[in-house]
Amino acid sequence: MNTANKLTMLRVILIPAFLAVLYIGFEGNQYVALAIFAIASLTDFADGWIARNRDQVTDFGKFMDPLADKVLVVAALLWFTQQGLMPAWAVLIVIIREFAVTALRLVAVDKGRVIAAGTSGKIKTASTMACIILMFLPVPQLLIHICVGIIVLVTLYSGVEYFVKNKELLNWTK
C-alpha cells in the first residue's frame, strides 16, 4: 500500500476514534476530538498532494478518499446538530449535495467520462473542515452561525457548479 493510501486509511481509522471520543464524554473530550478531526483533515490534504505529486493515484484512493472525507464531515455535522449548534436542514443540504454529485459522477462514468474534483469542491471541503474546527472551539454564537452559513453556501455553490458544468450529461428527455 502506497503512502497516499496509508494516509487515507489512517483517516478512515480516525473517524470511529473521533466519534468515540465525542460520545464518551470525559473532561476535555471536545478538544481531543478536535485534535483527531484536525489530524484527519490534514491527512486529506496530504494524501491528495502525495498521490498527485508522486504519481500514487490508485483506484482505492479514488474511491476511499472522497468517501472518508464525506463520512468524517457528516459525522462532525451530525454531532453539532445533536448539540444544538447546527440546524438539521443545513446538514441535509450537505448530504443531498454529496449524493447528487456522486450520482452525477456515476452518470458520467456510464457515459465514459470522469468528473474530477473541481476547485469549488476543494474550496468547499477546505472551508467546511476549517469551519468545523472553529465550531469545536469556544467561540461566540455569531461565529458558529457564520460558519453554518459558509458551509451551506459553499456546499450549494459547488453542487450547482458541478451540475452546470456537466449539464450535457443530464439529458432529461431520454
- Is the Cβ–Cβ distance between 127 and 151 less than 8 Å? yes
DSSP for residue 86: S
Average pLDDT, the chain: 93
pLDDT tens digit sequence for 95-148? 999 999 999 989 998 888 888 888 999 899 999 999 999 999 999 999 999 999
- Is the Cβ–Cβ distance between 43 and 7 less than 8 Å? yes
- Domain borders along the chain are 3-169
Q: Determine the Cα angle at 140 with ends 156 and 14, to 5°.
A: 60
Which grid cell sits at 22?
465525542
CA distance linking residue 71 with residue 73, whole number of Å? 6
pLDDT tens digit sequence for 59-87? 888 888 889 999 999 999 999 999 999 99
Q: What values do phi and psi take at 73, rounded to 5?
A: -65, -45
Surface-to-core class of residue 132, CB atoms within 10 Å of its CB (0-12 exposed, 13-18 middle, 19+ buried): buried
3-169 under CATH 1.20.120.1760, yes or no? yes
Residue predicted with more confidence, 65 or 13: 13
DSSP line for 49-73:
HHHHHTT---HHHHHHHHHHHHHHH
- Is the Cβ–Cβ distance between 135 and 80 less than 8 Å? yes
User: Does the predicted model carry a pTM greater than 0.75?
Assistant: yes
